Structure 1
Amino acid sequence: MGSGDLFLHFPAEWARRGALVLVPDLPGHGRSDGLLTYVPDWWAWVDQIWESIGMMLAEEAGGSLPTFVSGASLGGGLAVCLCLKQPKFFQGAILLCPMLTVSDELKPPWIVQQVFKRIIAPLIPLWPITPVKELSAYDFRESHHGEQLLKENPLSMMGLAPRLGTGREFGFTYPDWLDEHLSEMRTPFIIMHGNADKITDPETSKRLYKESTTVDKTLKLYDGVYHAELLFCLPGSFKGIEWTAEEVKATTTCMEDGAAWMAERC
C-alpha cells in the first residue's frame, strides 16, 4: 500500500538481465494522484491502471518487445484482472503469493457482510476505520522484519486503517468476482507461493492453476516460505535489516524462477 520504491530491488535484478522494467505507483498509492489508499470502484481503478500502463508501454517498448505483467499479493490479483480484461496483450503473468479470493471462513456472517457492503461502506466510504488485523508480523519467519520493513516505506499507510470504500472493493468486490472467473484466465502464467504463507492462501493459487483454461501454466510452491520472503530479502536491500540465509534463499529462488520462466517465452 505504499510506493513502488519498496519493490525496486527485486525487479532490478530482472533489469540487470536485460528486461525493461516499469514499476508504477498505483492511483492513490505512493506518489500518484488520488486520496491515500482510496479505491471507491475496483473496476474503474483497474481501467485507470490499464490506461496508464498501456501508455507507458507504448512509449517505452513501442509494442515490439514481449510484455509481461507481475504482481505480488493484492498486485497479483490486480495482474490477473488485467489479464482477464486483456487476455492477448501480455506474453505472460508472474504472480507472487497472489490475493485471489477470500475464503468464507475469514468472512463475517452473511448479514454483517450485506450491511457493510450495502449500507455502511456506501454511506461513509472515506472513513479509515475498516477493521483489519496488523499483518506485518506474519510477513516473514522473523516477525520483527515486518515492522522494520514498514519503517522503510514512508509513503505507506503509516498506521491508517483501510478506508471503508476500499475495504469493500478489496475485500469483496474483486475477490468475489474472481472466485467465479478463475477458469477464464487464458494468459500464460507462473504462480510462486510459499506454503507457510499466513496472509494469502496457497490453496487459492492451486485453484487458479487447476481451473484456468490456459495450457501454459506453472505452479511453484516453496516449503516453509512466508508471504513477503518471495520478493524483499536480498542482501543489502534495506539498511538495518539483516535477512536470514533462509529468507535470502527464498527471494533469490523466486527471482531466478521468474527470470527463467520469462526467458523461455521471449
Structure 2
Amino acid sequence: MDNQCTVGACGRPTQDVICAGHTAELVAALKSVPDLHADLEITLARRHKVSGSTEGRRGVTTPVMFHEAASETLRALERVVWHWAHTFHSANKHLSSPPKTVQAACEWMARFPALIASLDGAGDMWEDLARETRNARRVIDLPASLSYRGECGAPLDIGVCLQALYAPSDAVTVWCRTCGAEWDAAERRDLLAGQVADACMNATRASQVLAAVGIAIASATIRTYGRPRMVGGVQLPPKLVAVGRDQRGHPTYRVGDVLDIFLANQAPSINCAA
C-alpha cells in the first residue's frame, strides 16, 4: 500500500516518506547550499563594519557595519544542515560519518536520494531546507556587476547618512541615492579593503572577500604567490607566507599581504636605462 507524501499538503502517493518530485527538490536544495553558504559569507564580508574616518570628510565616521540578516541566515542554514546531517547518519549507520564542513555534508547527503526519500522526517527536512535556502537567496541581493562601497557616512542635520553605497568595479565616483553625497570610488574601495587587511583566510575565501569590495584577485593567483619561485635557475621563497592552516588543512594568508603583493605586481615598470 502506498504512503502519501508528507510535504505540506502534497499527499501524492509514494512508497517512501516523500514523493519523487519533492525528493528531487530536496536534493537540488542540498546541492545549492555550498554556493549559498559562500555567498552569505561574502555578504557578511562586504558589510562587516569597523569604525574609522573617511579621508577628505572631517568629522565623518564610517558607521560600523554588521549585516544582521546575513549573519542570522548563515547561522540558521548551518544549524539546519548539521541537524539533518546527524539525523540522516543516525538512520543510516552503514554510511561513513558526515563530513566536517557544511558544504561537504550537503554534497554527501545529496548522493543518496533514495535514502533521503525514505528518511523519517523527510517532509520536515524538505520544509527546513526550502525555507533556509529561500531566506539565503533573499539576503544575497547584490548584483554581481556591483561592489559594495560601505555606508555613506555623510553628515546630516541629525546624525549621518547610513545608505549603503554600490558601484561598478571600474567606477570613478559613487553617489549616495539618499543624500546625494559624492565619494571617490577608489578611496571607498581601499577603505573597505583596509578593514579586512588583518583577516587571515585561505586563498578561495581571500579572493571572495576582495572581490566583494571590487578587487579581483583569482584564488589561483593567490596560491601562486604562496609557492616557491624559480628565478634564473635559483629557487626563491614564496612571495606570500602562510600564517596558518584552516580546518581542511589549506594554508591561510593575511589578506593585507595578498593585496600588497597584488598591487606591487600592478605597478608600472620603470625604465632605468640611461
Shorter-chain TM-score: which interval?
under 0.3
Larger Rg: 2
TM-score w.r.t. length of structure 1: 0.27
Greater strand fraction, Structure 1 or Structure 2: 2
Q: Which structure's relative contact order is higher, taking Cα pairs within 8 Å and 6+ residues apart? A: 1
